[in-house]
Amino acid sequence: MRTIIFLLQKEFRQIRRNKVILPIIFVLPIIQLLILVHATTFEIKNVKLCIVDYDQTNTSHRLVHKLEGSSFFKINSTTFSLNQAKDELASGNAEMIVVIPQNFSKDLIKQKRASVQFIPDAINSNFATLAYSYAANVIRDFNVNLATELVSSISPSPIKTIKVNPRFWYNPELNYKWYMFPGIMVILISMIGIFISGLNVVREKEIGTSEQLNVTPMKKYHFIVGKLLPFLIIGLFELILATTIGRIFFNVPLVGSIWVLLGFTFVYLLVVLGIGLFISTMAETQQQMMFIGFFAIIVFILLSGIFTPIESMPIWVQKFNIINPIAYFMKVLRMVMLKGSGFINLLPEFISLSIYAVIILSLATWRYRKTS
């Protein structure tokens, strides 16, 4: 125990003296949380429209005003030439063309139907899909209003309609920041765990202090515990700090137990710190460690479900996530913070992360013993 205390004192002194690590641990996470939560969103607003209105009737003008009144769209230009509208789309001055054909109003009255053409910029397929979906909803609402007016003019009795009142559980206002904030927290905790712990070990190799440690009577588990504990403490502090920032600046709730969250974070930190230590035993320089670490963490992040639901991924990718620790912790964080899930609900994830921690720490210890 005395040996571990001396190692902890040594590690904290090194962290305190390192003028690069301190801002990375305490300053950058705050800045990243405040910026990335706003930036990483799939919501679209103020889509730039170019209107091509060949009809020029009161009905077509009402449709244009209906689109303009939506918070999702902004009319950037109007023209009577489709070719000019295509030029606007190609130059980026417009993101979607709305073509209202000639005789639009007449077709509505005589044939009870009419066509409107949407031409979205589909370089970003997700953007194009959402923009079209929003525009179709506006048209649908416009169509219902027209039908109501037409029937009311024929029959004075009110029309009976079905009214739908949706209720969204766990995120009633569909606030995308509530969904993204836990994801950004996972990324920050993971990167600090993998990179800071790994770079710390490799740096000792470069300056020669690891050789001095190897010739001491210190046991292998002393070294592993001495390297893990400081960053476990820092990681738990980062979690509490991030949760506080989320509550103050984004009003992100913590419905579940803070103790369940801290318990899972403790086990998860053992996993990511073990990955960092394992990578550091294979790397001889900090640059090598950074390359290997970035490759691993980028793959883990992209497949973890932060930006794309895991259920929509191919089956083989879903099976790969069995060895993806970020996918487990992502699910846990969102379920505890937004759903209020308890330990029993998350028992499979706890068992998986615990097994993962034992395996990766054993591998890191074995590799250190082999290279010492």
Question: Could you read off the pLDDT of 114-138 as tens digits, one per residue?
Answer: 889 999 998 888 788 888 888 988 8
The single residue listed with the structure tokens 């073509």 is: 99
The pair of three-digit structure tokens given for residue 122, joined into one six-digit string: 């589909």
pLDDT value for 372? 44
For the chain, domains (ranges, CATH) are 10-40+172-371 (no CATH), 47-154 (3.40.1710.10)
For 297-314, the pLDDT digits (tens) are 999 998 888 877 888 788
Q: What is the CA radius of gyration of the chain?
A: 28
Angle between helix axes 220-249 and 176-191 (nearest 10 degrees) is 160
Lowest mean pLDDT among 76-80, 162-166, 183-187: 162-166
What's the average model confidence in pLDDT over 314-337? 91
Virtual torsion, Cα 364, 366, 370, 372, nearest 10 deg: 60
Distance, CA of 177 to chain centre: 9
What's the average model confidence in pLDDT over 246-255? 91
Work out the pLDDT band at 112, boundaries 50, 70, 90. Answer: confident
The DSSP result for 319-366, as a single string, is: HHGGG-HHHHHHHHHHIIIII---TGGGHHHHHHHHHHHHHHHHHHHH
**pTM passes above 0.75:** yes
For 54-85, the pLDDT digits (tens) are 999 998 899 999 998 888 899 999 999 999 99
The DSSP result for 317-332, as a single string, is: HHHHGGG-HHHHHHHH
